[in-house]
Structure 1
Amino acid sequence: MRKIAHFFSTISLLMMLTQTAQGNSELPTLGDATSGVVSAQQEHELGQVFLKMINSQVKTLNDPELTSYTEALIYRLAETSELQDRRISLVIIDSPQLNAFAAPGGIIGINAGLFLYAETEQEFASVVAHELAHLSQRHYARRVEAAQRQRIPSMAALLGSIILAAAGGGDLGAAALSSTIAGMQSEQLRFSRFNEQEADRVGIRNMARAGFDPRAMPRLFERMSRMEGGGPQLEFLRTHPVSRNRVADSLGRAEQYPVRNYQNNPSYHLMRMRVIVESSSSPENTARRLAADLETGHTSYPFATRYGLALAQLESGDTSKAAKTLKPLLASSPDNVYYRILNNRIRFAQAQQKEALANIKDILRLTPDNLPLTMTYADMLFKDKQYTAATRVLKTFSRTRKDDPEIWYQLAEAAGKAGDIEEVHKARAEFFFLTGNFDDAIKHLEYAAELPSTPFSTKTALKERVIEIQEYKKRMKL
């Protein structure tokens, strides 16, 4: 019931923000008609509110390797896209459903299940390129403009329906989405179809520019068209229906580009294995299945299956088998960062903490601010009860990724163990701010400012941050 209550409060908030955007007649014109309805800055601010609601209500997948890989792919596509505002935020939903979405202000949402359904990086990139196209073509602002003409505040309800569906709302999420769509008039439905066609066209063009295979999009669409009606795990198909005409149209557009040999990125298959292992309720069963696949040759990518097997064996506590399984991969690719991280995690679990920490620290010197390496190092320090060192690492890294709630959460945990109460309150404040709990964020900033040990200059900065959050609440009508 708590999630449902949050959902409806979010709907109200989004509708209010959308109506505010619709009602503002003094917005700057940025070169297109939609800028007179919703400015790019308003889209960004609405997107940040939406992201905070997602972070507070939806179970996200906090896997540094997966996040780092996906962000790199998104930025590669963004570089060649038509996006004017390239402030992009990624959220990976911990759900096996096939789904992805774009929200105003540069928000890209991807369900972990997309890694399971997209068989290659090219197919995965086609979905990302499609969602980026929704952003670059400013479909949100254009739908607000259409809704303003017809007095239908549908976009807020659509965003809210996405939240409920992503949160695992099941039939309720589907019903909310269906009723929202049903409430739109015929022009709205036509407009939605046009948006999807435009996102396909722009996405295919961008794939070719970025060096991806544009034919991957129709290949994925073709397979998806055979899945329609196949079950609740195919949530993507509710908001992205794949008709035969759409498959044919995307194929026709992709065929305009010359045939090339495209690289099959091995990292993508490692990420798929991470999702398989992490979504498993029994790592022991997963390990047995992957071991059987490896032994019988029932795998297209033996290196990825071996990596997944080592992961599953580590998760099940069988570190000696995990080390043995991973050894051939290290021998063939000694510089692979994913193999090196896993190898040192295994060593750490085998009571070789000092060696594992030294190894990760050495790699970090070569690639500073690397997300998976930094979070692995901080996690190892924490587990080794080096709480002050873990706090120092996370505090420094929080300046690089100040909008990542997971880093602030882990920083608060480490600081608490280290006895650094001021840092606990400051980290919790930022975590609560990023998850939409503004009142608690302000409380923790005030707690930190009231500590006798807090320096005067820090107290001043904390009070300024309180004012910033209060003004943000007022500006966003929260």
Structure 2
Amino acid sequence: MHLKRLLAASLCATLAVPPQAYAQAPGGRAGASAARAAVLDFGVASASASGAAGPNAGRPPAGKAGVATPGVATLAPNAAALVSGPLDDEADPVIPASIAQGVFGTYGGAQSRFGAAGSGQSANSSGTSGNASARSPAWVPQLPDLGDGSGGALTPQAERRIGERVMREIRRDPDYIGDWLVRDYLDSVAERLAASAAAQFIGGYRPDFDLFAMRDGQINAFSLPGGFIGVNTGLIVSTQTESELASVLGHEMGHVLQRHIARMLSQSERSGYAALAGLLFGILAGVLARSGDLGSAIAIGSQAYAVDSQLRFSRAAEHEADRVGFKLLAGAGYDPWGMVAFFERLDRASMSDAGVPAYARTHPLTVSRIADMQDRARRADYRQPRQSPEYGFVRARVRVLQDRSRGDYLDEISRMRAEIEDRVALNVAANWYGIAFAQLQVERYDDAAASLANARAAFTRVEAAEGGKAPRAPRSSSSLDVLAAEIARRAGRTDEAVRLAQAAHAAWPASHAATDSLLQALIGARRFKEAQTLARGEAESEPRQGAWWQYLAQSSAGLGDLLTQRRALAEKFALDGAWPSAIRQLKEARDMKSVGFYDLSTIDARLHEFEARYKEERAEDKDSG
């Protein structure tokens, strides 16, 4: 009886407090002082006092209606507002139990450039605005993600390690596209979006994003643990602007930044890291099912499919990723309407006879999602971003990389020519570039060189028109310069290939594609010493890139430097997860008579590390099996 009276008294006291006085605690682990400091203003305090009918008026911010939750802080009437991402939309879905509490945190930057998009205020049905000060704040203090950033038992380090093991298998898939020009471009877009996230304090966890393309005509993209994001070639080709592509990448990065995968996997975790690895390998089986045994993939990944579907079809997670992606998109200088345009095109495609696109199936396009992005785009500052020239060239290159046979390449050449002749090509220079790249695949080297010249001329005309005057020097791009060296090398003109590759590397020193092209040209010209020096420097700078170790091994073999060759091969095999081969290479290097004391000590230390990693992964595989 006393308990019932106590509960009744608590409820009465709770209902006596205005709904807007409640705030979200910062994860419950930052201490009482942080909980008191972290307050959220949902923009309804002044609306309640004046009778304004904003969409959030009268609604409690979280939990059951009118019931205080443990650990929340009260909000002073004049407290500064903090922007809360998922709570500024009347149509927000209820966060399902499948998502760990605290997933949805605070977004926005110290300098909010979105006005009402960050405050959650919008006009009501009669056209009356909400709180004017909330619609256009001058300066809004922000905090990093207030959710539980731990992702449960799965730490960011363990998540990255799982992602790397999954990527080993994906890189073995014949549909994996390791083309450096494509990878460089995707990573450059991700870098801009990640910089936007850092500037706006979005997410307390920002991994090193690693993007890659898969040869698949379906319009889809997917994120893996640890910052690995896959993009189907069909999606890249289906976009019409760089902002549309960036909007999809921003959405997938939103899943990673908010650690949606880690939070959901943590709920299914029962037996530690090995069980989680098993779940992720099940998801991998689904990704690779089209090239492997489907029955085996389903048997291996049955439990993982349930978790994966739980993520993909969670409306709350999709809304959250949309909003994070939108902030990344606009903050990075892309067109905010890019996300709206892409969603609307997919929505129209889903209503046609062609069937529902894969992206719409794995990322359900609801009316509320599209309306939410439309509303945010309308309220964002207008901008007309300058599209990177690499977007058009990479999109054309991907169109060709989707093909598999000589007949496919010839058909693609005809389609691109027809688009130019009919004046329907999105980018004439890009179409000529695609034609040149396709002609290279069918070994029509002279035709490829002529088409590339047409691409360069069209590109220069566009650059001059956009600049308002003729450029002082011929303009270029890494895609054009690398393809020129590639054509010369494949045609057997080794000296010309080296010269062109050296020029491309000098013009684009940060381009992996230019470096790769120069290494191939030097090895093809049997200039092994130069190749070894370059490959060694790249391997030391980026030891996680297996290509540099491979080139170091090849150039060392050409020089007869067996010690360096074996050590380089060991590193390449280790990155591929081929631990027995890596260990064997180090043992052979250790047993060489010419090995010195310093090299011997280094080799022994690396050998012990490889043996420990191999033993650890075997134990994990045994437990997960």
TM-score, normalization: structure 1?
0.82
Between 188-197 and 92-101, the greater mean CA deviation after superposition = 188-197
**Residue 268 (structure 1) aligned with residue 396 (structure 2):** no
Q: Distance in 2 between matches of 1:467 and 1:377?
A: 35
Between 209-218 and 123-132, the greater mean CA deviation after superposition = 209-218
Q: 2:322 aligns with which of 197, 200, 204?
A: 200
Q: 1:401 to 1:227 in 2, by over 3 A?
A: farther
Structure 1 residue 378 displacement after superposition: 0.9
Confirm or deny: 8 A CA contact 1:270 1:304 kept in the other structure. yes
Residue in 1 that maps onto 2:347:
225
Q: 1:271 to 1:444 in 2, by over 3 A?
A: same
Q: Distance in 2 between matches of 1:168 and 1:175?
A: 8
Residue in 1 that maps onto 2:190:
74
> The residue matched to 1:169 in structure 2 has which SS?
helix
Residue in 1 that maps onto 2:379:
256
Residue in 1 that maps onto 2:402:
279
Residue in 1 that maps onto 2:244:
123
Residue in 1 that maps onto 2:568:
427
Structure 1 residue 228 displacement after superposition: 4.3
Q: 1:111 aligns with which of 232, 236, 240?
A: 232
Q: 1:177 to 1:450 in 2, by over 3 A?
A: closer
Residue in 1 that maps onto 2:420:
294
TM-score, normalization: structure 2?
0.64
Q: Distance in 2 between matches of 1:458 and 1:431?
A: 18
Matches within 5 A, 1:126-137: 126-137=247-258
Q: Distance in 1 between matches of 2:550 and 2:218?
A: 26
What is the aligned length?
A: 447
Residue in 1 that maps onto 2:148:
33
Matches within 5 A, 1:351-430: 351-430=492-571
Q: 1:148 to 1:349 in 2, by over 3 A?
A: closer
Q: Distance in 2 between matches of 1:147 and 1:227?
A: 35
What amino acid does structure 2 have at the position aligned with 1:376?
A: S
Q: What's the CA shift string for 1:171-215, capped at 9, x where partnerless?
A: 6599679954785699x5798321111111111111111111222
Residue in 1 that maps onto 2:180:
64
Residue in 2 that maps onto 1:447:
588
What amino acid does structure 1 have at the position aligned with 2:378?
A: E
Instruction: Percent identity, please.
Output: 29
Confirm or deny: 8 A CA contact 2:261 2:311 kept in the other structure. no
Q: What's the CA shift string for 1:315-360, capped at 9, x where partnerless?
A: 2222222222222443425332222222233344555432331232
Confirm or deny: 8 A CA contact 2:218 2:233 kept in the other structure. yes
Q: Distance in 2 between matches of 1:190 and 1:452?
A: 57
**Residue 312 (structure 1) aligned with residue 438 (structure 2):** yes
**Residue 322 (structure 1) aligned with residue 448 (structure 2):** yes
> The residue matched to 1:454 in structure 2 has which SS?
coil
Residue in 1 that maps onto 2:337:
215
Structure 1 residue 133 displacement after superposition: 0.9
Confirm or deny: 8 A CA contact 1:382 1:414 kept in the other structure. yes
What amino acid does structure 2 have at the position aligned with 1:303?
A: A
Confirm or deny: 8 A CA contact 2:390 2:477 kept in the other structure. no
Q: 1:179 to 1:383 in 2, by over 3 A?
A: same
Greater Rg over alpha carbons, structure? 2
* Structure with greater contact order relative to length (CA < 8 Å, sep ≥ 6): 1
Confirm or deny: 8 A CA contact 1:369 1:397 kept in the other structure. no
Structure 1 residue 375 displacement after superposition: 0.6
Structure 2 gap ranges (5+): 1-144, 461-473, 621-625
Between 170-179 and 76-85, the greater mean CA deviation after superposition = 170-179
Structure 1 residue 438 displacement after superposition: 1.9
Structure 1 residue 468 displacement after superposition: 1.9
Confirm or deny: 8 A CA contact 2:281 2:301 kept in the other structure. no
Q: 1:217 to 1:154 in 2, by over 3 A?
A: farther
Structure 1 residue 271 displacement after superposition: 0.3
Q: What's the CA shift string for 1:303-326, capped at 9, x where partnerless?
A: 111111122222222222222222
> The residue matched to 2:290 in structure 1 has which SS?
coil
Between 415-424 and 454-463, the greater mean CA deviation after superposition = 415-424
Q: 1:378 to 1:103 in 2, by over 3 A?
A: same
Q: 1:111 to 1:449 in 2, by over 3 A?
A: farther
Matches within 5 A, 1:177-188: 180=303, 183=306
Structure 1 residue 57 displacement after superposition: 4.9
Q: Distance in 2 between matches of 1:159 and 1:185?
A: 9
Q: What's the CA shift string for 1:29-70, capped at 9, x where partnerless?
A: x97535253322222333233333333456421211111111
Confirm or deny: 8 A CA contact 2:482 2:504 kept in the other structure. no
Q: What's the CA shift string for 1:408-459, capped at 9, x where partnerless?
A: 3344344334433323322222222222222222222222222223333222
Confirm or deny: 8 A CA contact 1:334 1:340 kept in the other structure. no
Residue in 1 that maps onto 2:25:
none
Q: Distance in 2 between matches of 1:306 and 1:389?
A: 33
Confirm or deny: 8 A CA contact 2:280 2:304 kept in the other structure. no
Q: CA RMSD in A?
A: 3.4
What amino acid does structure 1 have at the position aligned with 2:543?
A: K
Q: 2:281 aligns with which of 160, 172, 178?
A: 160
Confirm or deny: 8 A CA contact 1:143 1:155 kept in the other structure. no
Q: Distance in 2 between matches of 1:334 and 1:420?
A: 41
Confirm or deny: 8 A CA contact 1:270 1:308 kept in the other structure. yes
> The residue matched to 2:177 in structure 1 has which SS?
coil
Structure with more of its chain in helix, by fraction: 1
Q: 1:32 to 1:120 in 2, by over 3 A?
A: same
What amino acid does structure 2 have at the position aligned with 1:239?
A: T
Confirm or deny: 8 A CA contact 1:68 1:371 kept in the other structure. yes
Q: 1:311 to 1:113 in 2, by over 3 A?
A: same
Q: 1:338 aligns with which of 470, 479, 493?
A: 479
> The residue matched to 1:254 in structure 2 has which SS?
helix
> The residue matched to 2:229 in structure 1 has which SS?
strand
